[in-house]
Structure 1
């Protein structure tokens, strides 16, 4: 396994940790306040190709950029990294806010993408306010496993004092305006107990994507890729094999 690598484009830097060898190449993009370390269990269970787990700018070990990037700018950075370092179409797996980034990578840079997996996608138009999103996150955390809470707390601290601005960048993005332009195979994945990404919204996302389909992971909530990731990994592997 190579050491984590830094990649800078247009004034922002991401950190990538690569394991295994592809194809397929899975690129894992975390949610708000998180980082690549939360994907350790998912990486172990994917196992049939190469995984590239990312820290977006200002998260995990990636340095804070001069300005908090928009979702679109984060997508451009990820695509630039894929073109420069991966050089093959990838399966982009985005969790929570990372699903918004994955969506924009596919819409803006389709040549870099083999397919996308949107896990617990945010933000539902009817809940596009900070109080509603925070309330859903708090309700989700209240029933989560202590391991997930511990990992999340560490990553939120590492995300630093600009987390409020990063949260705002997530909220102003309108994924519903991007669905029709995302004409790549897409799997929308949801834990059946996810209160952050309701079932009706996830089904709406899958129906609006030109090549979308919906799957649900029994007995999991919003952090279905973090805690006991085996069921999610199985569905992701099946999706990738069909591409």
Structure 2
């Protein structure tokens, strides 16, 4: 097949997969809230107290008419609620708003393109939505307020707090979507819903490998020379015309196209994070990364809860939400942890095992031929992975020559630190990092054979290069450098 035709087909395949994933994400439990038809305010009026102010207003950011809803106690602290994807718009927050209206002033809106608001031309990005929130609070509030965001609304709220910290006193994020690099985000949606723990012992290695299959396909398709977001971002007009009638896709693609690295590491607004542990739309690791890397944040998760815990797990959600509203800021950590001090003597070995969980402090960890292994809250001087599938969460390695070696392995690391002369040596590896710190005096990552790195909201620190890493790249017999371009798979 000629190169140009193959590339075109890959581009179309990537577009269909991405559009399919974002459309599927819109069909989440958010839809379990009472629905109203876009443009119909009468149905919404019947669901809220008669004295609540429901109105249409014209906003200057998209130059469109939006619907806002305000109620509760005049003069009480104001809470602004920001919704996620889905045709219902602010409906997802109505039950919570009613519960709080006796003690707070509550404010919500249908973002442009959603609910009963108009669907104007333009890119429905978190940055533009954040400017809209700033305009709205400029009209509705006299000082900083509590801002609550769910799903896409969490990404919008985070962007808003970073852009306009003077308007936000407290930030509450519920199952925030789109923070990870777009490849990592779509990979989560494509991962097969198979439980390694529930599989028979003899089948666990096969199940663990099969769970990775969807992720591998996404890496291949989104690693093409020209992905769909690259095509559309070149022209706002093309973005508007192609996606004008598909608000969910417009907003989802704009969301995963944004880089939140600066917002995560530099937003000092006190932040409380609530997450459903069974969320199939936005992975819990996003919440773990945010809790570890935001300067002042804490995470509370709800076992068994899905993507919209305020609707599907209300009895567990509301106590956590009430605490997020009232807990003193002094309870939040003010310093992000760095790499651990040198670990204690001792070697941990895993050979040919499946589904193991390890914690604690070790001098050296060697994982050889193991699958579905988890390292959680681990400190070590050196970790070696060979022919292994491993997940790491809050792992700190401070080594001498090399902190981490990965050969023919698949590693997903979240909120972890690797520090040594060379932080990582990878040989035929697949690395998926979220909120990972790499610190080295020589090389951050040295690849021998073909290695793919997906880095979301990560940091790098070596002589001559300090900054953020938010990319998907391939390395072959080369180190990771500041000018390393996103490298597509070979056609």
Q: TM-score, normalised by structure 1?
A: 0.81
Please give the alpha-carbon distance, in whole angstroms, between the structure 1 residues aligned to 2:85 and 2:188.
11
Q: Secondary structure at the match of 2:99?
A: helix
Show the counterpart of 2:83.
30
Distance apart, 1:201 and its partner CA: 2.4
What is the aligned residue count?
A: 223
Q: Secondary structure at the match of 2:323?
A: helix
Q: Note the 1:119-198 alignment, pairs <5 A.
A: 119-125=174-180, 128=183, 131-132=186-187, 135=190, 160-198=245-283
- Alignment deviations for residues 183-242 of structure 1 (CA, whole Å, 9 cap, x no partner): 110011101211223232211111111111101123311111223434323222222223
Please give the alpha-carbon distance, in whole angstroms, between the structure 2 residues aligned to 1:44 and 1:218.
25
- Asked which structure has the greater RCO (Cα within 8 Å, sep 6+), the reply is 1
Distance apart, 1:96 and its partner CA: 0.8
Greater displacement, 31-40 / 57-66: 31-40
Which of 57, 72, 77 matches 1:20? 72
- Alignment deviations for residues 104-127 of structure 1 (CA, whole Å, 9 cap, x no partner): 111011111111111111225355
Aligned-pair Cα RMSD in Å: 2.4
Q: Note the 1:162-241 alignment, pairs <5 A.
A: 162-241=247-326
Structure with the bigger percentage of helix: 1
Which of 59, 84, 88 matches 2:139? 84
Show the counterpart of 1:118.
173
Q: Note the 1:51-66 alignment, pairs <5 A.
A: 51-66=106-121
Please give the alpha-carbon distance, in whole angstroms, between the structure 1 residues aligned to 2:169 and 2:284.
25
Q: TM-score, normalised by structure 2?
A: 0.42
Please give the alpha-carbon distance, in whole angstroms, between the structure 1 residues aligned to 2:289 and 2:279.
15
- Alignment deviations for residues 87-115 of structure 1 (CA, whole Å, 9 cap, x no partner): 23211111111111000111011111111
Greater displacement, 189-198 / 10-19: 10-19
Show the counterpart of 1:97.
152
Show the counterpart of 2:99.
45
Task: Return structure 1 stretches of 4+ with deviation > 3 angstroms.
Answer: 126-136
Please give the alpha-carbon distance, in whole angstroms, between the structure 2 residues aligned to 1:228 and 1:5.
32
Runs of 5+ unmatched residues, structure 2: 1-51, 194-243, 329-491
Q: Secondary structure at the match of 2:275?
A: strand
- Alignment deviations for residues 117-163 of structure 1 (CA, whole Å, 9 cap, x no partner): 11111225355378536547x97xxxxxxxxxxxxxxxxxxx95343
Show the counterpart of 1:106.
161
- In structure 2, do the counterparts of structure 1 residues 179 and 12 end up closer, same or farther at CA, with 3 Å as the change threshold? farther
Show the counterpart of 1:3.
54
Show the counterpart of 1:156.
none
Greater displacement, 65-74 / 55-64: 65-74
Bigger Cα Rg: 2
Show the counterpart of 2:464.
none
- In structure 2, do the counterparts of structure 1 residues 40 and 199 end up closer, same or farther at CA, with 3 Å as the change threshold? same
- In structure 2, do the counterparts of structure 1 residues 197 and 129 end up closer, same or farther at CA, with 3 Å as the change threshold? closer
Please give the alpha-carbon distance, in whole angstroms, between the structure 2 residues aligned to 1:181 and 1:201.
17
Q: Secondary structure at the match of 1:226?
A: helix
Structure 1 contact 119–189 (Cα < 8 Å) conserved: yes
Q: Secondary structure at the match of 1:187?
A: strand
Please give the alpha-carbon distance, in whole angstroms, between the structure 2 residues aligned to 1:54 and 1:68.
18
